[in-house]
Structure 1
């Protein structure tokens, strides 16, 4: 009883958040939500959009061509994400909130423009530039919350922030269930222009974190990219790059093909086109709910058993759930129900991304933090782009979706051997 009382007293003693910290969090969370919505819109509308645009571009809209073109365009999108490392040095130099708003503005405008595409080349260009904006948003939102929130709240804040991305998945699924089914894929892309409002609100209402303001003079003279590659940070930079690469390969390989897999299974079960799309939306919603729960469960686990052990648990869960869903359930005679059930498990362990929002800021000082965060995430996206291209080629060659995606589970097995080389920061304060 005393333990419960002590915990309640500790909770009451947490540092209260001021108005700027609250507004800043909700601005970052909303940007992250709309970021996730934007990212997943493509996965949801991939089949109908390419079915329309491929013939206009001189290609037959066969299932194999749709799969290959979808992988190429997604790889191009990931390359745009990879180039988002440019935002990190800008944020270390000019401030977190201004550059965060610029990333949101970029991905919103070019997502909206995707609705005007008349061929696959235009769609590819718009998605590439949108990717540059989306990629910067995660790094800058995570950096902002880590620096702006008080020490006794920032760890849970990382988990709360990450839920926004998957709330965006849920929002995209809801929009597809309502707008997408009735008005088509172009209307879905138009909804992605909404984040412009969020960018303006961030500029007008949110102050820069005090940690960045205090380090500003040092940041001006620093060369952050060179510093994170120097002796002090080199090892942790490359280990973080590898771990993020694994997370990106596995999660995106599963998530981007999830709607197509559900549609195939629903069609195989005798559902109509409209019912198949609705089922894919519901499955995406379930995946999102699972991931949100995984994000919320992660920070307390990381505080109890440490960062490295927590990531190991989540990576192991990803390996099992990807293999079970795409490698087993997808090939069952009545595989739709077990596949969707495994998606919830996959979603939960997909919450591993919340750990990086918590852990990466703890590994780098303020003057280089945004650069390090952006570089590590961008590196993973470059490699992920290549893997996604190979994945599309494998789908085309094998004439099946399940096995190639299931093989990405091996990346998480590899990750279990890399985790021991990362630094354990449990119990440490955010470095100044």
Structure 2
């Protein structure tokens, strides 16, 4: 009996983390949190920012023009995200932590500069350049945690890391509830400059993962982009690109349009403008809590039933909840409360992104891992930019927000047929 108990304790014992691993994780997590905050700030301040800047740029601030300009700026932001694939080869060549710090520094500086915009054109440029930095942070943070953490901890580490992005949504909602309502949209963008401190900490205090050092020592670095698109990796690269594209379309359809939908429903229910903005902030907080729980539930599920089945569960959940919220609750006579209730479930299944933080590093060797992660995530953002532009045009044409967003559920159904082509890596160690 005692020997059984002792073996159970040994099995449950985890490899302790050293100071650099702990500091590196919190640096990556904080950067990813502020990355999420930055991404969502724009969704929250879209209407007041464009209401002020469109007339200064020679356009009327009509609801139609605000919707169209907002979609164009979203698309440019996503194109910037897409161009972030440049960070991957740099990280494979020069190291994870240095390039991670550079991505954080980039998006922080240009988010802060967004507060100084005097025209819609200036705001578009700043958001595009901030997107280049934001897009690289996920790939490098995910790669760093996968390589730096011990094998028996890295899977949960991926789930913990992904909570940061949605904690950023919650933080953005809290700032909008306090700073945004009182001081306006420029103050919200100024808060996005805070991650510069995180960048400095990552650069000065965190060591490179040993896996990257060993790989760099024995490999003459060639062309990682050519390798991930070559015969050895081609299939898994393109399958990952398609699956990430589907996840990104869902993120921007569900999460980004959520504040606008809540504001519309709140105003329809009789609330004043300030009350509607506060309600949108509270709804965003609920969405974020749901997503954080989804991120934490995902790694144990992926270990239990496998990566592919777990993603299938989350994709099916996304399809159902997008239809339930934007396709059904949004059109109810008193739809505000049901819509917000659906948002919690939508947030939970939005935690599917945590699987990619866990799964992508398992599919590629160290010498090309950051390049593969950055390329696969960037590919989806280019497609997401086009879908976002089409969504804006559909909203403008149909004069409704709910139906065009609800139709994005179709891509998750398509994803269920793509998942079987991906490799199953449950039980495998991170390839060197």
TM category, shorter: over 0.9
- Aligned-partner Cα distance in 2 for 1:254–1:13: 39
Residues 145-201 of structure 1: CA deviation (Å, up to 9, x unaligned): 000000000000000000000000000000000000000000000000000000000
Mapped pair 1:288 → 2:288: yes
CA drift of 1:222 comes to 2.2
Q: Retained in 2: the 8 A contact 1:92–1:219?
A: no
Question: Moved runs in structure 1, 4+ residues, more than 4 A?
Answer: 4-8
Decide whether aligned partners of structure 1 residues 5 and 63 sit closer, same or farther in structure 2, where only a CA change above 3 A counts: farther
Unpaired segments of 5 or more residues in structure 2? none
Alignment coverage as a number of residue pairs: 432
Mapped pair 1:356 → 2:356: yes
- Aligned-partner Cα distance in 2 for 1:180–1:347: 23
Q: Retained in 2: the 8 A contact 1:364–1:431?
A: yes
Matched residue, 1:213: 213
- Aligned-partner Cα distance in 1 for 2:325–2:202: 40
- Aligned-partner Cα distance in 1 for 2:21–2:221: 28
Q: Retained in 1: the 8 A contact 2:93–2:221?
A: no
- Equivalent residue of 1:152, what SS? coil
- Aligned-partner Cα distance in 2 for 1:407–1:192: 32
Q: Retained in 1: the 8 A contact 2:97–2:206?
A: yes
- Equivalent residue of 2:193, what SS? coil
User: Larger deviation: 18-27 or 216-225?
Assistant: 216-225
- Aligned-partner Cα distance in 1 for 2:18–2:97: 16
Mapped pair 1:275 → 2:289: no
- Aligned-partner Cα distance in 1 for 2:71–2:41: 15
Unpaired segments of 5 or more residues in structure 1? none
**Map 1:6-405 → 2, pairs under 5 A:** 9-10=9-10, 12-405=12-405
Residues 30-66 of structure 1: CA deviation (Å, up to 9, x unaligned): 0000000000000000111111111111111111111
- TM-score normalised by length of structure 2: 0.98
Decide whether aligned partners of structure 1 residues 428 and 177 sit closer, same or farther in structure 2, where only a CA change above 3 A counts: same
- TM-score normalised by length of structure 1: 0.98
- Aligned-partner Cα distance in 1 for 2:7–2:320: 35
Q: Retained in 2: the 8 A contact 1:89–1:225?
A: yes
Q: Retained in 1: the 8 A contact 2:113–2:190?
A: yes
CA drift of 1:221 comes to 2.4
Q: Retained in 1: the 8 A contact 2:91–2:99?
A: yes
- Aligned-partner Cα distance in 2 for 1:113–1:227: 37
- Aligned-partner Cα distance in 2 for 1:55–1:5: 72
- Aligned-partner Cα distance in 2 for 1:359–1:6: 32
Q: Retained in 2: the 8 A contact 1:170–1:284?
A: yes
Q: CA RMSD in A?
A: 1.5
User: Larger deviation: 180-189 or 44-53?
Assistant: 44-53
User: Larger deviation: 216-225 or 370-379?
Assistant: 216-225
User: Larger deviation: 11-20 or 148-157?
Assistant: 11-20
CA drift of 1:391 comes to 0.5
- Aligned-partner Cα distance in 2 for 1:323–1:6: 50
